[in-house]
Amino acid sequence: MSGPDPRPPSPGAGIRLAPVTADILELAAFRNRSADLERLAAARGVALPACGHLTRRPARLTLSVRPGRWLLLTAPATEGASAWEGAIPGCGAAVELSAALAATVLSGPAVREMLIRSCRLDLAAEAFPEAHAAATIMVQVPVILAALEGAMLLLTPATMARHVHEWLVTTSRPFGLSLAPQASLADFSGDNSA
Partner 1 sequence: MTGPSRITQGLLTDPAKPVRFSFDGRSLEGLAGDTLASALLANGRRIVGRSFKYHRPRGVVTADKGEPCALVDVIGESGREPNRLATAVQLSEGLRAVSQNRWPTLELDLLAVNDWLGRFLPAGFYYKTFMAPGWAWERLYEPLIRRAAGLGRLESRAQGHAPPAEIVHDHADVLVVGAGSAGLTAALLLGSAGLRVLVAEQDVVLGGGTLLDTRWAPWRADACARLASLPSVRCLPATTVLGAYGHGTFGALETLAAHERARFHGMRERLRVIRVARVLLACGAPERLIAFAGNDVPGVMLAGAAHAYLRRYGVALGQRPVFFLNNDEAYGSAMALAQAGIRASAIIDARPQALAATRAREAGLEVLSGALMTEVLGRRSVRGVRVRLPDGSSRTLAADSVAVSGGHSPATALACQLGAPLTWVEAITAFTAEAPAAAGRTAGAARGVFGAAAAARDAELAARALAAELGRPAPEPAAWLPWPPDPAASPVSAVWEVPGSGKAFVDLQNDVTTADVRLACREGYEHVEHMKRYTTCGMATDQGRSGGLVASAVLAAARGVPLREVGQSRPRPFAEPVAFAALAGGEVGGHYKPRRRLALHDWHEQAGATFVSTGLWLRPLVYAAQSGWEPVLAEARAVRRAVGITDVSTLGKIDVQGPDAARFLDFVYANTFSTLAVGRARYGIMLREDGMLFDDGTTSRLAPGHFLITTTTANSAAVLEHLEFHLQAVRPELDVVLTDVCDQWAQFAVAGPRAREVVASLVGDLELSNEAFPFMAVAAANIGGVAGRVFRISFSGELAYELAVPARAALPVWQAILEAGKPHGIRPYGLDALNTLRIEKGHVTTAELNGNTSATDLGFERMLKKSGDFIGRTLGARPGIVSPERLQLVGVRPVDRAQRLRNGTQLVTPAARSASLGYVTSSTPSTELEGWVGLALLAGGRQRIGSRLLGVSPLHDETTELEIVSPHMLDPENLRVRA
Which string of x and - marks every residue 89-108 that binds partner 1 (by CB under 8 A)?
Answer: -x-xx-xxxxxxx-------
Closest to partner 1 by CB, 174 or 190:
174
CA distance 21 to 102: 8
Residue partners of 10: CB distance under 8 A and separation at least 6: 173, 174, 175, 176, 177
Smallest distance from partner 1 to CB 141, Å:
5
Taking CB under 8 A as the binding criterion, the range among 44-52, 118-126, 144-152, 177-185 that sits at the site for partner 1 is 118-126
Answer yes or no whether residue 192 interacts with partner 1 by CB under 8 A. no
**Residues binding partner 1: what is the number (CB under 8 A)?**
48
- Give CA–CA dist 81/96, Å, rounded: 5
CA angle 177, 21, 14 (to 5 degrees): 15
Residue 152: φ, ψ to 5°: -125, 135
* Per-residue binding letters, 149-168, with partner 1 (x by CB under 8 A): --------xxxx-xxx-xx-
CA–CA distance, 175 with 111 (Å, rounded to integer)? 9
Q: Which residues are at the interface with partner 1 (CB under 8 A)?
A: 1-3, 6-7, 10, 26, 28-31, 68-69, 90, 92-93, 95-101, 116-122, 124, 127, 139-141, 157-160, 162-164, 166-167, 170-171, 173-174
